[in-house]
Structure 1
Amino acid sequence: MKTLMLFFLLSCINSFCYNFLRGFVHLNKPKLSRPLFFALIEVSIHLPQYSLLLPAVLWYSYRKVSRQAAEKHQEKLDRDAPENTKLHFNMIAESWR
């Protein structure tokens, strides 16, 4: 759930901005010239930019949550493991590098 929280937040912001801009343009349609109206409609469609940004946001969010889980796990190992077990795991970690 933590991984997708940023995605949900961005989706809500995206939907709000899209609906707000579209509503504003349609409410003021009689006051706008035809080319300006269509230009504002095109500007309010920001789905391509959102679809390019979304994979980066999901990758960042997944990486952040994974890092936090790994740190929490390492803290638990460090807190609960006696000194000789800690030394053993450090030696294994060094051998994998």
Structure 2
Amino acid sequence: MKLSIKWSRAAIVLIAAGLIGLLSCPFLFEIDALINIKTIVLILFFLLVFAGLLIRLIKLKCPNCRKASALLRWSNPDGGYCPSCGEHFEYDINDNYR
């Protein structure tokens, strides 16, 4: 069974968007309102990072032992090896573009 490159790309995008947002939050303006906008934005970016990590932990497990999480890849077909069982991670990148 091959790992889905779609889930790997989704996790990369979510984690990157969340981290960029979290790092830029100190530069947001304070707006006086009933609910602090900065707090809402911080929670949103934290949820993006959390969703990306959750996708990585649930959808990108080793297909052989189901223990270790695979490294995130955008297009590199060499997926590395599982630290638990030593099997090679294989992505479905070539299957999507036929």
Question: Which of the five TM-score ranges fits, normalised by the shorter chain?
Answer: 0.3 to 0.5
**TM-score normalised per structure 2:** 0.38
Higher relative contact order (CA 8 A, sep 6+): 1
Higher strand share: 2
Question: Between Structure 1 and Structure 2, whose CA radius of gyration is higher?
Answer: 1
Higher helix share: 1
